[in-house]
Structure 1
Amino acid sequence: MNKQTEIEEHDDDVVVIEERDKRTHIYIALAGVLGLALGGLGGSMMTANKWETTYNKLEEKYQTVQQDKKQLVVEVEEKVAKVDHQLELKLQKALEEKDAEYQENLAKVEAQVKELETAKSNLEAQIAEQKNQLAQESAQNSRLNRQADMQATMLERSRELFQRELKIKQELASLEKEREDLLPKLEALKKQCDVYLEGTSWDAKSDSCDKQDEANSRISQIDQMIQVHRMDLKQIESLSEDIGL
């Protein structure tokens, strides 16, 4: 009975010891967790302080960067404005140079146009003068041609007149010679005819009176022809005076 009781008491002690061991382990575990928590909290606090310092530095750098950025924007805007102004000045200068070059070229072109217009006017005046001179020369040539035609006609007419005059003079000379030759024969024929009519000579021929009549008729005809030829010569002389021969 006592052994059993001792055994039971012993078992109770073992249970108590085991429970105490379990509690100790729990306490140790809790203490460990608590220690870890407290250690982590301390580390976190240290880390937070470190990150806050870093953040503040980064914030300062950010603000500095923002300020530098604003300053850079201002400088860039100033440079852009300066560049724009320089470009505007260069563009204005280039435009002025181009305008001056254009005005210079325009002045040269206008001078050339004026020179060409003057040359054109002079050329037109020369052409007009040459046309007038050609017209005068053409009129003079026409007059000369008419004069030449008239002179040719006059020369031809003169040649005809000279030939006609020469022929008339030759015929007149021939008629006068024939008349001179007939006059002595007419005297002889008249005597023979008178003798024949008187019947005082057997030598008188019966045709002597007919020959006398023929001689008288021929002399009368010659006298008429001589008169006509002399009138023709006077007319030729008058025509020669009219045409200036």
Structure 2
Amino acid sequence: MNKVTDHDENDDVVVIEQRDKKTYIYIAIAGVLGLALGGLVGSSLTANQWQEAYQKLETQYQSAHRDKEQMASRVEDELATVHSQVQDKLDMALVDAKAEHEKQMLSLQAQVQELEKVNLSLEEQVSAQKKQIADANNQNTKLNHQADVQATLLERSRELFQRELKVKQQLEALQKERDLLEPKLPKLKEECDLFLDGTSWDVKSDSCDKQDEANSRLSQIDQMIRVHQMDLEQIKSLSEQIGL
């Protein structure tokens, strides 16, 4: 009886062990199937998520590309605007610089013309001053010559005056001597005639000699008077020539 019982228990153990093994197999198969199904489901979900992510990335890429193109267009427009503004400013700066340069050139030309006028005026002043100096030198030379002439004339005038005074004094003395001598000639002639006739014993023997001496002296006085008169005429002519 006990053997039968033990045998039955052993059979139960074997059955249980077999069931346990099958259970493990089923569980393993179920696990594999679960994994497979989970993988498929996961794969399906992952594919959907990847596609959504790709589309999202594609959309973002397209948006970024459009933004990039728009930004590039805006940058080009801004660059064109900046270039145009810079070109306009550069053109305005060139126009202003050209106008300023022309203004400076006109100012310099005006200064040059003014300096040329001043230089011409200075040259004219220098020329006028040189002429004044030359005229002054000529005038000084003339004045010196005139002074020399006047000094010479003064000396000549003094000499002429002294000579004229001396000639006049000599002429006056000769005229006085003639005036004294001439009235004596008739008496001396009468005495000489009486002596020659022998009609008077009062007449001295030298009466004729005295008459000859008187006539000779009178002739000499007349000659000297004529010479002195000629000297006075010459002095007068010289005085008129030198403006006296």
Same fold (TM over 0.5): yes
- CA gap 1:41/1:223 in 2 versus in 1, 3 angstroms: same
In the alignment, residue 133 of structure 2 is paired with which amino acid? N
Residue deviations 1:151-190 (CA, integer Å, cap 9, x gap): 1111222222223323322321221111111123335667
Residue deviations 1:186-235 (CA, integer Å, cap 9, x gap): 356675xx99997649xx9xxxx8xx89xx5xx9699669847954862x
Q: Residue 103 of structure 2 aligns with which residue?
A: 115
* Match status 1:177 vs 2:165: yes
* Match status 1:64 vs 2:52: yes
- CA gap 1:197/1:79 in 2 versus in 1, 3 angstroms: farther
Deviates more, 1:182-191 or 1:90-99: 182-191
Deviates more, 1:75-84 or 1:116-125: 116-125
Deviates more, 1:77-86 or 1:153-162: 153-162
In the alignment, residue 29 of structure 2 is paired with which amino acid? L
Q: Residue 79 of structure 1 aligns with which residue?
A: 67
Q: What is the Cα deviation at residue 33 of structure 1? A: 1.1
| CA–CA distance in structure 1, aligned partners of residues 79 and 137 of structure 2 | 82
Q: What is the Cα deviation at residue 123 of structure 1? A: 2.1
Q: Residue 243 of structure 1 aligns with which residue?
A: none
- CA gap 1:186/1:198 in 2 versus in 1, 3 angstroms: farther
Q: Residue 35 of structure 1 aligns with which residue?
A: 23
| CA–CA distance in structure 2, aligned partners of residues 220 and 129 of structure 1 | 74
Deviates more, 1:177-186 or 1:46-55: 46-55
Q: Residue 38 of structure 2 aligns with which residue?
A: 50
Q: What is the Cα deviation at residue 141 of structure 1? A: 1.5
In the alignment, residue 94 of structure 2 is paired with which amino acid? L
| CA–CA distance in structure 1, aligned partners of residues 112 and 135 of structure 2 | 33
* TM-score (structure 1 length as normaliser): 0.69
- CA gap 1:127/1:221 in 2 versus in 1, 3 angstroms: farther
Structure 2: segments with no counterpart, 5+ residues? 189-205
Q: What is the Cα deviation at residue 22 of structure 1? A: 5.7
Task: Give runs of aligned pairs for residues 204-219 of structure 1, distance below 5 A.
Answer: none
Q: Residue 125 of structure 2 aligns with which residue?
A: 137
In the alignment, residue 61 of structure 2 is paired with which amino acid? V
Q: What is the Cα deviation at residue 94 of structure 1? A: 0.9
In the alignment, residue 156 of structure 1 is paired with which amino acid? N
Task: Give runs of aligned pairs for residues 183-198 of structure 1, distance below 5 A.
Answer: 183-186=171-174
- CA gap 1:222/1:92 in 2 versus in 1, 3 angstroms: farther
- CA gap 1:162/1:188 in 2 versus in 1, 3 angstroms: same
> Which of 86, 92, 105 lines up with 1:98 in the alignment?
86
Aligned residues: 213
* TM-score (structure 2 length as normaliser): 0.69
